[in-house]
Amino acid sequence: MERVGGSAEESGDVAETEGSGAGASGTEGDIPGNWILQHHKYRELMALDVGDTAQVYAAFLVYLDLLEERRWQEVTSRGSAELQLVYLEGRESESQPRQLIVPLPGQRSLSHQGVRSLLSQPGSDGAPSPSLLLAAVAPDSTLAYYRFSRGFVVPEPPDSIQALECGRERRKRRRL
């Protein structure tokens, strides 16, 4: 079994494999320490030849999270030569529409113009989507998702108002 350190030197800066849980001490038999590098999806993303290694690695982690952890459906990947990054598209469940997910390493900087150009990417239906999910990947592989939307998105009402409305509904039902 190859050591993680050794393989990291070969593949440049992809050294943060500690989050993957498959360290050098794994005794799972055939699974090598650098299984990520050999994963077919990872190779597919690298083959798109857009984005630097850190961004592709971030995309791979988000891909795994969406599929394995959150059980999203129809998760596909696309490359954007214009923006030089790999992004994903998927559906949270059968009833939900398809969404755009942009994985980025957490140390990156972004401008408002950059956010807008991400939003202007066409989805699978050809039209740019009104919102996207930005997945920030920290160096320790922690993922944080937040939604960017065009224009004004009104938030949910505060708890006090929600409680009031729930109370009203309950009282109405009791009366009936």
Residues that bind other proteins (CB under 8 A): 70, 104, 106-116, 119, 133-134, 136, 144-159
Number of other CB atoms surrounding residue 64 within 10 Å: 17
- Distance in angstroms (rounded) separating the CA atoms of residues 50 and 74: 22
> Cβ 172 to other proteins, closest distance in Å?
24
Report the residue number, 9 or 156, with the smaller CB distance to other proteins.
156
> Cβ 10 to other proteins, closest distance in Å?
29
DSSP 8-class letter at 69: I
Question: What residues contact residue 135 under an 8 Å CB cut-off, 6+ apart?
Answer: 58, 62, 65, 101, 102, 103, 104, 143, 144, 145
Number of other CB atoms surrounding residue 88 within 10 Å: 23
Report the residue number, 53 or 162, with the smaller CB distance to other proteins.
162
Distance between the two ends of the chain, CA-based, in angstroms?
70
Report the residue number, 27 or 109, with the smaller CB distance to other proteins.
109
- Distance in angstroms (rounded) separating the CA atoms of residues 17 and 33: 9
- Distance in angstroms (rounded) separating the CA atoms of residues 98 and 38: 29
Report the residue number, 50 or 118, with the smaller CB distance to other proteins.
118
Contact 148, 119 (CB under 8 A): yes
> Cβ 24 to other proteins, closest distance in Å?
30
> Cβ 133 to other proteins, closest distance in Å?
6
> Cβ 50 to other proteins, closest distance in Å?
19
Report the residue number, 27 or 113, with the smaller CB distance to other proteins.
113
